[in-house]
């Protein structure tokens, strides 16, 4: 069982919702309700909605008038019914056990009228912010129109905190802004783990491409004790070492960089682990013929789609004595059963470690849930790109714009 009782270092120095006097005030809460929907507009996973409930409930309990806003999908600045937040309003009503009034737009006379008529503790959900192209353009007039709805702004959308959009960085230029509980927790765990980890500190990186994780690898090279690389990105490193990778995913333009990263890790005395065997197939399909081979013996026409059993044992041993673990990216194409064993085995090993365990990224989040171990992970981040930027050591625009406590 993971050690879940380790408190993250309190390094968050921004105002939070508790620092605002929101009693009887209108509070604009930017949430991340970018949830998956099926073809019938049913929510298939509401974890992102649930993660914002502490902030929403606090505002309700304080007697605030709560205005919720979010994006959903990529409607490209046009109204598209399949990206409507109406299903989110229904789910919120059930989770909050009170009516959530859904509005057909996020600005305009009708929205202003509804906000004006709110009573203490009322909750309104605005329609998808990205139905307006001005949202992603960070348009000043659009920001001002949204800000005019409220007295205070609270950002609880960590998953969008790396975007310089109107509802993320525009609104707090016009009204006082603070972080919600989820935002604060995300920063405390992700930044706290990297800046002051309990050692040994192990980073596990997977997913398809090295290019998406370069910054993370370079930043963590100075901070971690061990790095495990799996997933498709491992085969760029394996090819860089002079081995053939068959038809596995390899970023040819990243080979020189892969060598530089390995040299830098070696110079920093960071132990670096790659798969030693893998599960291969000729196609990424259910029912495809599979083989387990050493990574040096992948034949032409075959591609590596999961780490093999020897790699799984090796990685599990590396993880065993860790005291801090950050995991971002699966070990293979875990959505298909034949290529899921490596990812699920690593999920169980992370969950069993007596360590502070942090999982970041949408695919990894899904993997630990499918492996049935999410309750044994210390913290599961709601942000993919935002979590990666934070692990790279970059400041997020959505955090930078909020006022410091001092």
> Quick one: 243 and 358 in the same domain?
yes
236 and 355 in a single domain? The answer is yes
Residues 78 and 219 occupy one common structural domain: no
Among 141, 156, 179, where does a domain finish? 179
Q: So what's the pLDDT on residue 8? A: 55
Same domain? For 193 and 170 the reply is no
In a domain, 198, yes or no: yes
C-beta separation of 158 from 33 below 8 A: no
What pLDDT is stored for residue 4 in this prediction? 47
Is residue 8 one of the residues assigned to a domain? no
pTM value?
0.89
Per-residue pLDDT at 186: 92
In this structure, the answer to whether residues 194 and 159 fall within a common structural domain is: no
Q: How confident is the model at residue 1, as a pLDDT? A: 46
- Residue 17 DSSP symbol: G
Residue 212 pLDDT: 82
Per-residue pLDDT of the chain (406 residues; tens, 9 = 90+): 455 445 555 678 899 999 999 999 999 999 999 998 888 889 998 989 999 999 999 999 999 999 999 999 999 999 999 999 999 999 999 999 999 999 999 999 999 999 999 999 999 999 999 999 999 999 999 999 999 999 999 999 999 999 999 999 999 999 999 999 999 999 999 888 888 889 999 999 998 888 888 888 888 888 999 999 999 999 999 999 999 899 898 999 999 999 999 999 999 999 999 999 999 999 988 888 999 999 999 999 999 999 999 999 999 999 999 999 999 999 999 999 999 999 999 999 999 999 999 998 768 988 999 999 999 999 999 888 888 888 888 889 999 999 888 7
Model pLDDT, residue 88:
97
CA atoms within a 13 Å half-sphere pointing along the CA-CB vector of 265: 25
Q: What pLDDT is recorded for position 394?
A: 86
- Please give the Cα distance from 37 to 24 (Å, whole number): 34
Q: Is residue 208 part of a domain?
A: yes
Active site residues: 48, 209, 362, 385
Residue that is last in its domain, among 159, 179, 199: 179
Instruction: Mark whether 115 and 251 lie in a shared domain.
Output: no
Clarify whether residues 260 and 172 are in a common domain.
Answer: no
Please check whether residue 5 lies inside any domain of the structure. no
**135 and 205 part of one domain:** no
Contact 72, 130 (CB under 8 A): yes
Cis ω on the peptide bond leading into residue 264 (within 30° of 0)? Answer: no
Q: Is residue 11 part of a domain?
A: no
Question: What are the phi and psi torsion angles at 29 (to 5°)?
Answer: -105, 115
- pLDDT tens track for 260-298: 999 999 999 999 999 999 999 999 888 889 999 999 999
Please check whether residue 400 lies inside any domain of the structure: no
- Residue 43 phi/psi, 5° resolution? -75, 125
71 and 152 fall within a common domain: yes
In a domain, 397, yes or no: no
Which of 179, 204, 236 is the last residue in one of the domains?
Answer: 179
* pLDDT tens-digit series, residues 105-132: 999 999 999 999 999 999 999 999 999 9
Q: What domain count does the chain have?
A: 2
The CA distance from 352 to 33, in Å, is: 31
* 120: containing domain: 17-179
- Residues 154, 213: one domain? no
- The domain that holds 360 is classified in CATH as 3.40.50.1260
Residues 224, 371, single domain; the answer is yes
Quick check: is 39 in a domain? yes
Do 219 and 283 belong to one domain?
A: yes
């Amino acid at each position: 069982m993971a050690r879940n009782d380790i408190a993250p270092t309190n390094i968050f120095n921004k105002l939070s919702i508790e620092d605002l006097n929101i009693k009887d005030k209108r509070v604009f809460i930017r949430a991340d309700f970018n949830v998956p929907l099926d073809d019938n507009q049913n929510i298939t996973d509401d974890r992102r909605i649930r993660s914002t409930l502490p902030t929403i409930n606090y505002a309700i309990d304080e007697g605030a008038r709560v205005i919720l806003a979010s994006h959903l999908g990529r409607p490209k600045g046009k109204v598209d019914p399949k990206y409507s937040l109406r299903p989110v309003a229904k789910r919120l009503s059930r989770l909050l056990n009170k009516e959530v009034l859904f509005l057909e737009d996020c600005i305009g006379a009708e929205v202003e009228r509804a906000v004006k008529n709110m009573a203490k503790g009322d909750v309104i959900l605005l329609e998808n912010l990205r139905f307006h192209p001005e949202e992603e353009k960070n348009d000043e007039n659009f920001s001002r129109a949204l800000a005019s709805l409220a007295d205070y702004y609270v950002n609880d959308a960590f998953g969008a905190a790396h975007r310089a959009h109107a509802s993320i960085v525009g609104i707090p230029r016009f009204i006082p802004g603070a972080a919600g509980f989820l935002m604060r927790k995300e920063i405390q765990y992700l930044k706290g783990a990297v800046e002051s980890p309990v050692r040994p500190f192990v980073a596990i990186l997977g997913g398809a491409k090295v290019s998406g994780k370069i910054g993370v690898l370079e930043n963590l090279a100075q901070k971690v004790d061990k790095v495990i690389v799996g997933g498709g990105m491992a085969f760029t490193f394996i090819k860089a070492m002079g081995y053939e990778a068959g038809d596995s995913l390899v970023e040819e333009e990243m080979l020189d960089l892969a060598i530089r990263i390995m040299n830098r890790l070696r110079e920093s005395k960071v132990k670096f682990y790659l798969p030693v065997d893998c599960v291969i197939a000729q196609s990424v399909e259910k029912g495809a013929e599979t083989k387990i081979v050493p990574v040096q013996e992948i034949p032409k026409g075959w591609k590596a789609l999961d780490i093999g059993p020897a790699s799984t044992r090796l990685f599990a041993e590396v993880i065993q004595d860790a005291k801090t673990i950050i995991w971002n990216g699966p070990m293979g194409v875990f959505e298909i059963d034949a290529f899921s064993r490596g990812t699920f085995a690593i999920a169980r090993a992370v969950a069993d470690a007596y360590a502070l365990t942090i999982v970041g990224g949408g695919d990894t989040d899904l993997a630990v849930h499918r492996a049935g171990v999410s309750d044994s992970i210390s913290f599961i981040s709601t942000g993919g790109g935002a979590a990666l930027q934070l692990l790279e050591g970059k400041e997020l625009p959505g955090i930078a714009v909020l006022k410091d406590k001092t």
